Structure 1
Amino acid sequence: MRELLRTNDAVLLSAVGALLDGADIGHLVLDQNMSILEGSLGVIPRRVLVHEDDLAGARRLLTDAGLAHELRSDD
């Protein structure tokens, strides 16, 4: 799994999840339950991961949706 993006924005997280679901690209959101520990302040960013084989397609999908500025660097 590779990190696609990292954000504190719950709306962005939801939109990215919907885009990935619509394109049938499996993804995993990490650190979502950390809000319990931090008191729901949004301090700890959530990470969206996709399978290595889907990374290029997911990056292209988010770029086409105008979200290229949210993507993690392509290491």
Structure 2
Amino acid sequence: MKELLRTNDPTLIAFVTALLDDEGITSFQMDVHMSVLEGSIGILPRRLMVGDRDLFLARSILKENGIEAGG
């Protein structure tokens, strides 16, 4: 799996996940449970991962929707 996006914004994660789902791309959120360590204040970013073969298409979907991909 490759990192597609890293953000503190849970709304962005949900939006990107929906975009990817619509195109049949499976994604996986990492670092979701890090709030135990940070005290639920949202300072640690979450990562959205996609399969290696889906990375190029996923990045182009984000670009088409005006979202800057990290990772």
TM-score (norm 1): 0.88
Unaligned runs of 5+ in 2: none
CA RMSD for the aligned pairs?
Answer: 1.0
User: How far 1:47 moved relative to its partner?
Assistant: 0.2
Q: Percent identity?
A: 46
User: How far 1:40 moved relative to its partner?
Assistant: 1.3
Structure 1: 4+ residue segments shifted above 2 A: none
Instruction: Deviation per CA, 1:34-63: give whole Å up to 9, x if none.
Output: 112212111110000100100000001111
Q: Partner of 1:12 in structure 2?
A: 12
Q: What letter matches 1:72 in structure 2?
A: G
Q: Partner of 1:44 in structure 2?
A: 44
Q: What letter matches 2:70 in structure 1?
A: R
1:53 is paired with a residue of what secondary structure? helix
Between Structure 1 and Structure 2, how many residues are aligned? 71
TM-score (norm 2): 0.93
Unaligned runs of 5+ in 1: none
Aligned mates of 1:23, 1:36 — CA distance in 2 = 33
